[in-house]
Amino acid sequence: MGNKSIRRERLGKVRRIVVKVGFSILASVEKGLHYEVFSYLIKEISELKRQGYEIIMVSSGAIAAGMEKLGYKTRPQSITQKQATAAVGQGRLMNIYENYFSRHQQMVDQILLTHDDLSHRRRFLNARNTLLTLLELGIIPIINENDTVVVDEIKFGDNDNLSALITNLIEADHRQIYCLWRGTNTKIRLQIADRRLQIEKCEI
């Protein structure tokens, strides 16, 4: 049975998937952004989209993209330095996503959220309606916490929490899928767990 057949069998009746992409997958402090991982993941996600699944991404990487653009060799420590670096990196990160997704004729759009956006009913409904409309248009929303304006007291904490909130917001489905990043010594696991597609990395 081919990989695509296995994928369809495991996904079953799943229709809507939240894809959570962590910092450790997309970048490292030592090597910067992992462009080969962007390429691979976007190819996989675009294939799922072509098969009829609705995809919402929750992505880290703004600070890493900002560090690369600014030439930083160490991660910023203060909240203001992180915010400034994220501000520089947000546009760069989306440019990378748009570039790779365009190779698969797939449109994407950036959505920046804060805790307040999902804590107040009117903002919650506005965010939900925007995301559902983007899905209806065939566009993949790429969501990240708005690092340029949040402070420690109101941060989601990490994108695991954010992806869980987004999953509830747009009522995503729950199943599992795995794949292997071939050609390196790194295994990338894509697993739909707790109603979201988690992307993890482990050495093999």
Considering only CA atoms, which of 122, 200, 121 is closest in space to residue 163? Answer: 200
183-193 average pLDDT score: 46
Token readout for 18 is: 């939240």
Q: What is the pLDDT of residues 28-77, one digit of tens each?
A: 777 788 898 899 889 988 998 998 888 988 888 888 899 999 999 888 88
Indicate the domain borders of the chain.
3-203
Domain 3-203 has CATH 3.40.1160.10: yes
Place of tokens 């050495």: 203
Q: What is the pLDDT of residues 114-133, one digit of tens each?
A: 777 777 888 888 888 999 99
pTM score, two decimals? 0.76
Write a three-state SS string for 93-128: HHHHHHHHHHCCCCCEEEEEECHHHHHCHHHHHHHH
